[in-house]
């Protein structure tokens, strides 16, 4: 028994892989982990989201080889064959490892000009934006990362969009993978990163695995990074992601995360507005059922004047699902004229569903505009009756209202390609959790000029 | 006896802060096919409750009585089944549906009703053609179709949107709950035209109103006075004019 026991949870699920690490950065991360353990409920940042599901497993490193058929099927089912997304360059990782044969240019789509791509495994470098000493899950990633993508967009280049797909292909043995991604945009550059996390169904029940990605985003002066993420991993999965964004003057990080899958998921964003007139959007939606837990956590730091931050989150929770939103806005003394907005809304469709919301404002500047709010409610009986009195069957009426609640926040994302992915994923999740559409082709926007 | 709409001995109550409050206390009303009937009466007499009970709102508990509609037990049907059977309620205060596009809402409703009635559903093109013709007739802008249902609509626009839904759903029994309140003369005319356009030997309407004006355009076959949860007096179109002059006092005395 150790003389000093860590205050957090045991590292046993990963212990076998933490020994003998020599790289100094990874070694420091392991030391940090051993000191604090995995975060337990007494750690404020993890009070509402418990890592209990990780205990009792021994997570092995996922094998490099995988069964191509289910992975191919998962890709086909998740990404449309036509439209803008089909012709968008694609980077695919399977079990956290880059899979060149599934990625562009193998698909005949070259990466945009002015974009350089490198695998993390080719030269493992840890971006200084990440703070493993503060976030134990990032320390774990730092210790165990084997691969990931590193994208940089040259100054002034409008790089359109790139799709980043993670396919998990787990078998009987519990595995974990810890991809390390980074994106950097030179001054005036722009890129939309469309991220998708899926599982390839093996068919034989829920495979246990743990996906622990870290993404660092360096957005230079006047650059704009748009980031759309759809997480629809299978039951049995734990998905704990951390994103760091540093946004220089007049730059923007505009993000939207849609959480649909995994038993336990957390999307944690640390955004720092480091130059004047920078902007950050951390918008998102979750639609969860059964015993799913979905957590969106953000820490937004206004470290320069005249910056804007926007967070609009909507949760729909059925069965025994639980949603968590933690949003901290930290305004430094120098950050005068800060304009911050935060709103978390939840629709609870079952008496057993739960939402935990924790807004935090820490403001040291005296000339700021910061608002935050939260609402919790059930479906409106009057609205339901109105629809039904027009002949719409109850199940369909419910779906229409739930969809409308979520579409209002999806509408914050304007790009056509990212939106197509969001709509497709949401439609499938609505059919699963709320009820099927009764009329084929009844999706919003169907009736048009 | 007609078997179009037959309300007999209808009692209904609502839960008011834990205590049941009886609102309908024995409504008897028969509406034959092809007729327009008006219900007038002081505030709180149960007019809106009657309209909600007929449309199937669950907040009200029917404690006794019966309603048959075209030979069916209306009270046993779900709200959507009543709509499919031909009942339409124009709401006194139409509900806003944020995030629900008005055109999609209308098409969903029309096709749900058509499906239930065994008619072919309208495709996007067929729907647009039909709805455009209807909006034109109601002097509505197509822009209203692109907005969310009733969100940001003026009072008059909301009422017109109700009439548009009625026109599109082709009911055989339209219940208008004070659809005329707060409308100017032009809007009133549009509401009346909407009802008159549906008039046929197989269409009836139950018009709840406080004012004689709408009835001038509709020329009702019967006018009923409702007070304290019952129909206390019935007469021809001239009754509305009488009420306009005298008020309800004499009928209330009669009911007491």
Measured distance CA(A439)–CA(A214) in Å, rounded: 41
Are the beta carbons of A388 and B80 separated by less than 8 Å?
yes
In the predicted structure, residue A445 carries a pLDDT above the cut 80: no
Range with the poorest average pLDDT among A1-5, A293-297, A350-354, B217-221: A1-5
pLDDT tens digits along A65-92: 888 899 999 998 888 777 888 889 999 9
Residue B139 CA, chain-centre distance (Å), reads 21
pLDDT at A444 (0 to 100): 39
Cβ-nearest to A382 among B56, B95, B107: B95
Neighbours of B67 (CB within 10 A): 22
- Burial category of A291 from C-beta neighbours within 10 Å (exposed 0-12, middle 13-18, buried 19 and up): middle
Residue B173 CA, chain-centre distance (Å), reads 8
Q: A residues 343-402 near B, CB within 8 Å?
A: 381-383, 385-394, 396-397, 400-401
- Cβ-Cβ contacts under 8 Å for A35 (sequence gap 6 or more): A6
Measured distance CA(B149)–CA(B155) in Å, rounded: 13
Which residue's entry shows tokens 């439209």?
A: A83
- Written as six digits, the tokens of B239 are 């009754």
Contact A412, A283 (CB under 8 A): yes
Contact A390, B169 (CB under 8 A): yes
pLDDT at B207 (0 to 100): 97
Give residue limits of the domains in chain A. 64-378, 379-439
- Cβ-Cβ contacts under 8 Å for A410 (sequence gap 6 or more): A256, A258, A285, A419, A422, A423, A426
ipTM above 0.95, yes or no: yes
Strands B230-235 and B222-227: antiparallel
What mean pLDDT is reported for chain A?
92
Domain count, chain B: 1
Choose between A376 and B1: higher pLDDT: A376
pLDDT band at residue A338 using 50, 70 and 90 as cut-offs? very high
Which residue's entry shows tokens 């020329």?
A: B219
Contact A5, A36 (CB under 8 A): no
Residue B158: phi and psi, rounded to 5, are -65, -45
Q: Which residues are registered as beta bridge partners of B31?
A: B5
pLDDT at A7 (0 to 100): 66
Q: Which residues are registered as beta bridge partners of A443?
A: none
Domain-located, residue B119: no
- Written as six digits, the tokens of A239 are 């998905």
Neighbours of B154 (CB within 10 A): 10
Measured distance CA(A109)–CA(A162) in Å, rounded: 10
Cα separation of the two ends of chain B: 28
Per-residue pLDDT of chain B (256 residues; tens, 9 = 90+): 457 999 999 999 999 888 999 999 999 999 999 999 999 999 999 999 999 999 999 999 999 999 999 999 999 999 999 999 999 999 999 999 999 999 999 999 999 999 999 999 999 999 999 999 999 988 888 899 999 999 999 988 999 999 999 999 999 999 999 988 888 888 899 899 999 999 999 999 999 998 888 999 999 999 999 999 999 999 999 999 999 888 888 888 766 5
Contact B5, B190 (CB under 8 A): no
- Burial category of A164 from C-beta neighbours within 10 Å (exposed 0-12, middle 13-18, buried 19 and up): buried
| Reduced DSSP (H G I as helix, E B as strand, rest coil) percent helix, strand, coil of chain B, to 5 | 40, 30, 30
Cα separation of the two ends of chain A: 72
Please choose, from the candidates A208, A136, A212, the residue with its C-alpha nearest in 3D space to the C-alpha of residue A172: A208
Contact A167, A70 (CB under 8 A): no
Please choose, from the candidates A160, A226, A155, the residue with its C-alpha nearest in 3D space to the C-alpha of residue A185: A155
Ramachandran bin of A377, using left for φ above 0, alpha for ψ from -120 to 50, beta for the remaining angles: beta
Measured distance CA(A391)–CA(A371) in Å, rounded: 40
pLDDT band at residue A438 using 50, 70 and 90 as cut-offs? low
Tally A–B CB contacts below 8 A: 101
Q: Which residues are registered as beta bridge partners of A185?
A: A153, A219
pLDDT at A435 (0 to 100): 80
Q: Which residues are registered as beta bridge partners of A333?
A: none
pLDDT tens digits along B28-73: 999 999 999 999 999 999 999 999 999 999 999 999 999 999 999 9
Q: Output DSSP code: residue B132.
A: H
pLDDT band at residue A443 using 50, 70 and 90 as cut-offs? very low
pLDDT at A2 (0 to 100): 45
Q: Which residue of A has its CA nearest to B84?
A: A391
Are the beta carbons of B97 and A386 separated by less than 8 Å?
yes
pLDDT tens digits along A157-216: 999 999 999 999 988 889 999 999 999 999 999 999 999 999 997 555 578 999 999 999
Measured distance CA(B213)–CA(B185) in Å, rounded: 9
DSSP H helices, A390-436, are: 394-410, 416-433
- Written as six digits, the tokens of B127 are 């729907």
Measured distance CA(A359)–CA(B158) in Å, rounded: 37
What is the Cβ-side half-sphere exposure of residue B187, based on CA atoms within 13 angstroms? 16
Q: Is B23 helix (H, G, I), strand (E, B) or coil?
A: strand
Best residue in A312, A379, A383, A389 for a mutation probing chain B (most B CBs within 10 Å): A389
In the predicted structure, residue A439 carries a pLDDT above the cut 50: no
Cβ-nearest to A404 among B57, B79, B99: B99
Are the beta carbons of B116 and A403 separated by less than 8 Å?
no
Which residues on chain B are in Cβ contact (under 8 Å) with A387? 97, 105, 109
Which residue's entry shows tokens 């926040």?
A: A409
- Cβ-Cβ contacts under 8 Å for B219 (sequence gap 6 or more): B36, B237
Residue A63 CA, chain-centre distance (Å), reads 24
In the predicted structure, residue A42 carries a pLDDT above the cut 50: yes
Are the beta carbons of A401 and B89 separated by less than 8 Å?
no
Which residues on chain A are in Cβ contact (under 8 Å) with B57? 385, 389
Contact B128, A448 (CB under 8 A): no
DSSP string, A186-241: -TT-EEEEEEEEEE---SSSPPPEEE--EEEEEE-TT-EEEEEEEEEPPTTEEEEE
Contact A309, A341 (CB under 8 A): yes
In the predicted structure, residue A3 carries a pLDDT above the cut 50: no
Average pLDDT over residues A14-41: 93
Report the percentage of chain A scoring pLDDT > 70: 94
Are the beta carbons of B109 and A445 separated by less than 8 Å?
no
Measured distance CA(A180)–CA(B123) in Å, rounded: 48
Measured distance CA(B206)–CA(A204) in Å, rounded: 60
Q: In b/e form, how buried is each residue of A424-439, taking b as 16+ CB within 10 angstroms?
A: bbbeebbeebbbebee
pLDDT at A441 (0 to 100): 40
Contact B34, B60 (CB under 8 A): no
pLDDT at B235 (0 to 100): 95
What is the Cβ-side half-sphere exposure of residue A444, based on CA atoms within 13 angstroms? 27
Measured distance CA(A191)–CA(A211) in Å, rounded: 25
Give the dihedral sign, CA A388/A391/A395/A401. Answer: negative
Domain-located, residue B156: no
Q: Which domain holds residue B57?
A: 5-96+171-255
- Name the strand (E) or helix (H) holding A359: strand A354-363
pLDDT at B210 (0 to 100): 86
pLDDT at A376 (0 to 100): 96
CATH number of the domain encompassing residue B32: 3.40.50.300
Are the beta carbons of B58 and A385 separated by less than 8 Å?
yes
Contact A212, A177 (CB under 8 A): yes
Report the percentage of chain A scoring pLDDT > 90: 82
Q: In b/e form, how buried is each residue of A15-41, taking b as 16+ CB within 10 angstroms?
A: eebbeebeeeebebbbebbeebbbbbe
Are the beta carbons of A447 and B121 separated by less than 8 Å?
no
Q: Reading across the β-sheet that carries B222-227, which strands appear in turn?
A: B87-90, B173-177, B204-208, B36-40, B222-227, B230-235
Q: Is A107 helix (H, G, I), strand (E, B) or coil?
A: coil
Is-cis flag, bond preceding A296, omega within 30?
no
pLDDT at B252 (0 to 100): 80
Best residue in B78, B80, B125, B174 for a mutation probing chain A (most A CBs within 10 Å): B80
Q: Which residue of B has its CA nearest to A399?
A: B100
Q: Which residue of B has its CA nearest to A438?
A: B112
């Amino acid at each position: 028994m150790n003389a000093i026991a860590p205050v957090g949870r045991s590292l046993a699920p990963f212990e076998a892989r933490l020994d003998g690490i020599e790289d100094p950065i990874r070694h420091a991360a392991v030391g940090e982990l051993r000191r604090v353990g995995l975060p337990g409920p007494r750690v404020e940042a993890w009070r509402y989201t418990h890592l209990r599901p990780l205990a009792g497993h021994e997570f092995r490193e996922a094998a490099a080889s995988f069964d191509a058929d289910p992975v191919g099927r998962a890709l086909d089912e998740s990404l449309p064959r036509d439209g803008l997304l089909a012709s968008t360059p694609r980077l695919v990782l399977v079990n956290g490892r880059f899979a060149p044969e599934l990625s562009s240019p193998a698909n005949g789509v070259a990466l945009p000009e002015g974009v350089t791509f490198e695998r993390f495994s080719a030269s493992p470098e840890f971006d200084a934006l990440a703070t493993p000493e503060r976030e134990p899950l990032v320390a774990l990633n730092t210790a165990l990362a084997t691969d990931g993508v590193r994208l940089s967009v040259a100054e002034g280049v409008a790089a359109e969009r790139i799709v980043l797909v993670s396919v998990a292909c787990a078998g009987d043995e519990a595995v974990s993978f810890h991809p390390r991604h980074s994106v950097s945009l030179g001054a005036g550059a722009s890129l939309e990163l469309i991220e998708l996390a899926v599982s390839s169904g093996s068919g034989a029940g829920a495979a246990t695995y743990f996906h622990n990605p870290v993404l660092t985003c360096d957005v230079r002066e006047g650059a704009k990074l748009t980031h759309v993420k759809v997480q629809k991993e299978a039951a049995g999965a734990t998905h704990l992601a951390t994103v760091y964004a540093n946004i220089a003057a007049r730059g923007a990080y505009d993000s939207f995360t849609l959480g649909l899958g995994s038993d336990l998921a957390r999307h944690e964003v640390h955004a720092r507005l480091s130059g004047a007139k920078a902007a950050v959007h951390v918008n998102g939606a979750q639609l969860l059922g059964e015993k799913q837990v979905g957590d969106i956590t953000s820490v937004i730091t206004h470290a320069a004047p005249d910056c804007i931050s926007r967070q609009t989150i909507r949760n729909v929770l059925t069965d025994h699902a639980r949603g968590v939103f933690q949003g901290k806005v930290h305004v430094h003394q120098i950050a005068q004229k800060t304009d911050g907005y935060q709103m978390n809304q939840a629709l609870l469709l079952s008496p057993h569903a739960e939402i935990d919301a924790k807004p935090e404002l820490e403001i040291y500047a005296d000339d700021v505009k910061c608002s935050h709010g939260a609402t919790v409610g059930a479906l409106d009986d009057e609205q339901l009756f109105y629809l039904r009195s027009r002949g719409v069957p109850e199940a369909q009426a419910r779906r229409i209202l739930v969809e409308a609640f979520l579409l209002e926040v999806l509408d914050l994302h304007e790009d056509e390609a990212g939106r197509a992915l969001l709509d497709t994923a949401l439609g499938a999740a609505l059919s699963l959790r709320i009820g099927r559409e009764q009329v084929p082709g009844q999706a919003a926007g169907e009736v048009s000029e | 006896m007609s078997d179009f709409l037959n309300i007999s001995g209808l009692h209904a109550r609502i839960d008011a802060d834990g205590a049941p409050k009886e609102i309908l206390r024995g409504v008897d009303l028969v509406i034959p096919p092809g007729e327009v009937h008006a219900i007038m009466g002081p505030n709180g007499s149960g007019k809106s409750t009657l309209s909600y009970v007929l449309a199937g709102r669950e907040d009200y508990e029917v404690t006794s009585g019966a309603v048959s509609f075209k030979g069916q037990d209306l009270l046993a049907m779900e709200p959507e089944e009543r709509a499919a059977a031909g009942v339409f309620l124009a709401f006194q205060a139409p509900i806003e549906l944020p995030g629900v596009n008005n055109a999609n809402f209308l098409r969903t409703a029309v096709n749900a009703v058509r499906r239930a009635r065994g008619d072919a559903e309208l495709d996007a093109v067929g729907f647009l053609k039909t709805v455009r013709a209807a909006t034109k007739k109601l002097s509505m802008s197509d822009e209203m179709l692109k907005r969310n249902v009733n969100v940001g609509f003026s009072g008059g626009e909301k009422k017109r949107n109700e009439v548009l839904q009625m026109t599109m759903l082709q009911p055989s029994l339209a219940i208008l709950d004070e659809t005329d309140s707060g409308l100017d003369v032009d809007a009133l005319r549009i509401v009346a035209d909407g009802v008159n356009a549906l008039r046929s030997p197989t269409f009836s309407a139950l018009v709840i109103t406080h004012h004689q004006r709408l009835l001038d355009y509709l020329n009702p076959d019967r006018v009923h006075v409702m007070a304290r949860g019952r129909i206390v007096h019935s007469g021809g179109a001239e009754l509305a004019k009488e009420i306009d002059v005298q008020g309800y006092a004499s009928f209330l005395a009669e009911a007491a």
